[in-house]
Structure 1
Amino acid sequence: MTRVFALHSAYGLATAVAAIDRGLLDGPTAARPEQVLVPFTSSRVPELAVGIDADPALGRLRARFDRIEPLSDLLGPLHPSAWEPPEGELPVLGRLIARAWGIDPRDLELCVQSPQVAPARTLFGLFPDARLTIVGDGLMTYAPMRVRLPHTVTARIGRVVYADVVPGVRPLVASPTAETVPVPPAAFAAALRETATPEVPEVPADPEPGPSTVLVLGQYLSALGLQTPAQEIALQQSLVDRAAAWEPERIVFKPHPAAPPLLADAVRARAQSLGMAFEEHRGTGPAELAAERLDARAVVAAFSTALPTVHTVFGRDIGAAGTADLLGTLAPFENSNRIPLTIVDALTRTDAPRPEPPELQRLVDAVGYAMQPLVAEHLRERAEEVLRDLDDGERRRYFSAERLTQLRLPGAAPATLRQRLRHPAGGIGRIEEWRLTAIGARHRAGRAWREIRGG
């Protein structure tokens, strides 16, 4: 048997390696399959990014695999997300790639990130007999699928392997049929600690005391269209204000690699205006390890996956700023960032106690249903229950009035006749239902007529 890992992020690679090390992918008596890493770069301009196949900090993690088959060797200049060959070519391409990689497509497990898009979806089609496993990539894993995959795919997704950075909360991707396989925080921490280079040394066991520090993380939200550049500068400054609650002597800012210097300048000016020293951290390693090396008192960001990770895995305090405003402006409602934003907001709010895991799970389920009512239709009853229990302020924080009305969920304003016709509860529009009913009746009448005529 061969197990192929098609991965694009260091977080996903660390998750996979931790699962391998803990034996979470194989039964207690199963023979170890050949492990093949198929790395690719998902950034918009791959030529300007350091992929997981070339990052020197990930060398020890890559060594866990029997061999590496970079996807770029097959695709050449074609971007991985644009790899969508015609359906008729898939059987031939599948045989050619199986020969190139030296694998048996009938005895294969595909472990992929981002199953809704290419190249993962393309691999599903190339190897229709392969068993499928989803490897989590941070908080996005807790959101439902963005699209409804065909049954020929969903029936093969057996499990979701993810770093358990929000203990007690199950991810929604591939639910409710896929088994969830949490990677324990200690195992994930051990994998992260191996991402070291001579320039970025391992975290010392007993670091020397230094100035009290809060690490502030930038996410470059304007590049995603979630904020304007001016709004993002204001957000970065509010992150410094939030960091000041820990009364640090120093602010260390780790910007997004593609962020312009203007953002760092805004953080510097705000930190210095509050009497705190400022340093910019441009290392390529994980933010979680940067917090450890700096012995940071806390880590502050907008809604980075690093926040729950650094809290659960390394026990650091965390804080956020701007989450309530982002929840209100994030569009469309089904934007995949909504679940990460919801989780971070719930875990870092200063005006409400941190929710217990069952309570947070209920909120994630309800928001997930409102985001994807067709893909997550099994969660409608849970969503109705949660929304009935929330007060008006909490409902407005996590759910837009328009979305509640569209789905006819508790807390919605009374729907107009036009809205009821176009957006009934949890399904297709009434007008579309009538159209499909008419088509079905016409087909039944046609079959009956053919039977009468003896055709």
Structure 2
Amino acid sequence: MPTHEIYEASSLFQVVALCAAIDSGVVSAPGRLRTLVLCTNAPAPELAAPLEESQIVAEASSRFTSVVSLNTLLYPLAPRDFSPRARDMSWVRPLLSSYLGVGRGADVVLYLESLQSDPGLALARVFWDSKIVVHADGLMVYGPSRTRFPASITQRVSGILYPQFVPGLEPLLLREASPRHIPLPLEDLKATVAGFVTEVTEAPVPGEPYALVLGQYLSALGVLEPAEEFELSARMIAYAHERTELLVVFKPHPSAPEPVLWRLREFAESRGIRLHVARGGAIAEFLFHAYPPDLVVSSFSTALPTAQFGYGIPVAALGTDLLLERLTPYENSNRVPVTIADALMGVDGAAQSYRERHGLGPGTSELSALINAVAYACQPDLNPDLAEGARSFASWHMEGLPHTAHKEPQPAWRRYIKLKRARAAGIVAQAPSPSTARDLRGSRWAIGAFRQLKRLSPARRSPDLLRGPSTNNRRKQK
């Protein structure tokens, strides 16, 4: 019975990473049927450049039997809106099988970018009897699952495919399903990137030394207001210029609106900063290989660790302190990526102090303990076995901190785990309840009043004052 592999991807970096996994033999096997399913998930897909028109996809097509666009099939619906009802599966599966070229009786293996949302979850439901490998293109692979999946999904998850963005750090995604980890070494990713660069000949940057700033379009996710994101991008451009005094190349998120780029050009001109906006299909890793910058600046882009650990390029993460406060709810899927960027690459004084004081770095036990503690705080019900480690981590950081009567000590983990969340998850002891606190305050007031009364009253009268009116006096009063 033939095996048909379906690879779903919504970004060019995912396409390159999947090609690297196939080229290196990490996944798949020669002779298998492979279909690459492209999903343009921009807020307005009809205004975005279709992935299938990219030179990268044209080069990648040689690895696949066919390349199809889910946007074309579903139009006017977007891929993220594809969620067929159970009663429609009888005709949806034959339709998709025909469109994807899946033959009758074929064993289907799904390589999905995410099970947290559609279309990945929808494809898993349509091909209900297929094996599932989740491929991760970002730092979210090191964080916990956002939701609890039914057994019909978790029992079919056979592996997690991920580039080794942070050496020595183990993924926590879908750990409740006990999947096999399938790491893609960065050296294999770099080899495939080098092959793609020879085909993508357009030079996206001027031929001179430069600093690279990567935008992320966080306002589209509701994390920041548009004005705040503009200020963060301007701050990153200014920081890159101050650090290097070179030309600054700003590579915006593909969905970033043009008016924002106009304002950034005006900001750079007002500060005397030479700014070049690089729009186009070249992913950041292409620049790292063919036109390596002197510095890479972003907030928590996945390109930061690939630049630092894959290409040895200096990096800086800005705005992570703000994002750690703004991410809501606390278990937001970006919580762990922002934590990693802040702890390893953050330029904020508190982040640098933590990094230097505890020797934090890739492959260290401190980093693993921090990420496990944050993951447990995010999803304690899905990861109860991480509870003891999280408590030990918090307790160890509390040791040796100065205690005063009026100020609670601030251990390093408090930057990443809010105190209220830590108490709710049982990482630290619960605070006294409001009623208990009021009782304690009342008791302290009573004791203080008693001592003040005793101090001010004459010694010979204190017993009477404390005892109250005598029996005779009470009779006279009656």
State whether TM-score is above 0.5.
yes
Match of 1:237 in 2: 234
Match of 2:191 in 1: 190
**Contact 2:244/2:294 (<8 A) preserved:** no
Shift of 1:322: 1.4
Amino acid at match of 2:298: A
Match of 1:140 in 2: 140
Which of the pair has more CA radius of gyration? 2
Match of 1:59 in 2: 58
Q: 1:3 to 1:192 in 2, by over 3 A?
A: same
3-state secondary structure, aligned to 2:161: strand
Match of 1:401 in 2: 419
- Superimposed CA distance per residue, residues 119-164 of structure 1 (whole angstroms, 9 cap, x where no aligned partner): 1111212222211101112112222221111111101101011111
CA separation in 2, counterparts of 1:182 and 1:2?
22
Match of 1:127 in 2: 127
Amino acid at match of 2:41: S
Shift of 1:385: 2.4
**Contact 2:296/2:316 (<8 A) preserved:** yes
3-state secondary structure, aligned to 1:89: helix
Match of 1:223 in 2: 220
Match of 2:361 in 1: 355
Match of 1:103 in 2: 103
Match of 1:33 in 2: 32
Match of 1:372 in 2: 379
Match of 1:87 in 2: 86
3-state secondary structure, aligned to 1:332: coil
**Contact 1:401/1:412 (<8 A) preserved:** no
Q: 1:202 to 1:3 in 2, by over 3 A?
A: farther
3-state secondary structure, aligned to 1:284: coil
CA separation in 2, counterparts of 1:40 and 1:21?
22
Shift of 1:320: 1.4
- Superimposed CA distance per residue, residues 382-439 of structure 1 (whole angstroms, 9 cap, x where no aligned partner): 3222222335242221011221122222265346699xxxxxxxxxxxxxxxxxxxxx
Shift of 1:300: 0.2
Question: Does residue 11 of structure 2 align to residue 5 of structure 1?
Answer: no
Shift of 1:349: 2.9
1:334 paired residue among 331, 334, 337 = 331
Shift of 1:171: 1.7
**Contact 1:106/1:129 (<8 A) preserved:** no
**Contact 2:167/2:362 (<8 A) preserved:** no
Match of 1:296 in 2: 293
Q: 1:146 to 1:317 in 2, by over 3 A?
A: same
Amino acid at match of 2:108: L
CA separation in 2, counterparts of 1:264 and 1:390?
43
Shift of 1:52: 2.7
Amino acid at match of 1:379: L
3-state secondary structure, aligned to 1:117: coil
2:393 paired residue among 386, 399, 405 = 386
Shift of 1:225: 1.6
Match of 1:346 in 2: 343
Question: Does residue 198 of structure 2 align to residue 180 of structure 1?
Answer: no
**Contact 1:236/1:263 (<8 A) preserved:** no
Q: 1:236 to 1:20 in 2, by over 3 A?
A: same
3-state secondary structure, aligned to 1:171: coil
**Contact 1:41/1:80 (<8 A) preserved:** yes
Q: 1:50 to 1:275 in 2, by over 3 A?
A: closer
Q: 1:415 to 1:263 in 2, by over 3 A?
A: farther
Amino acid at match of 2:102: G
CA separation in 1, counterparts of 2:122 and 2:391?
36
Q: 1:295 to 1:400 in 2, by over 3 A?
A: same
TM-score by length of 1: 0.82
**Contact 1:242/1:319 (<8 A) preserved:** no
CA separation in 1, counterparts of 2:153 and 2:435?
38
Question: Does residue 328 of structure 2 align to residue 310 of structure 1?
Answer: no
Shift of 1:183: 0.7
Shift of 1:87: 1.3
Shift of 1:266: 5.4
Shift of 1:200: 4.5
**Contact 1:200/1:285 (<8 A) preserved:** no
CA separation in 1, counterparts of 2:187 and 2:299?
25
Q: How does 1:206-285 map to 2 (within 5 A)?
A: 211-244=208-241, 246-261=243-258, 263-264=260-261, 267-268=264-265, 271=268, 276-285=273-282
Amino acid at match of 1:403: R
Count residues with an aligned counterpart: 411
Q: 1:389 to 1:126 in 2, by over 3 A?
A: same
Q: 1:151 to 1:248 in 2, by over 3 A?
A: same
**Contact 1:388/1:411 (<8 A) preserved:** no
CA separation in 1, counterparts of 2:334 and 2:126?
29
Shift of 1:380: 2.2
Amino acid at match of 1:69: V
CA separation in 1, counterparts of 2:430 and 2:137?
33
Amino acid at match of 1:395: W
**Contact 1:200/1:283 (<8 A) preserved:** no
**Contact 1:342/1:398 (<8 A) preserved:** yes
Amino acid at match of 1:361: S
**Contact 1:108/1:130 (<8 A) preserved:** yes
**Contact 2:35/2:67 (<8 A) preserved:** yes
Shift of 1:274: 5.8
Amino acid at match of 1:318: V
CA separation in 1, counterparts of 2:4 and 2:323?
43
**Contact 2:165/2:309 (<8 A) preserved:** yes
**Contact 1:221/1:227 (<8 A) preserved:** yes
CA separation in 2, counterparts of 1:198 and 1:11?
15
Amino acid at match of 2:326: T
3-state secondary structure, aligned to 1:147: coil
TM-score by length of 2: 0.78
Match of 1:44 in 2: 43
- Superimposed CA distance per residue, residues 278-317 of structure 1 (whole angstroms, 9 cap, x where no aligned partner): 2222233112323444431110011111111122222211
**Contact 2:166/2:362 (<8 A) preserved:** no
CA separation in 2, counterparts of 1:385 and 1:59?
51
Question: Does residue 328 of structure 2 align to residue 321 of structure 1?
Answer: no
CA separation in 2, counterparts of 1:202 and 1:105?
46
**Contact 1:339/1:367 (<8 A) preserved:** yes
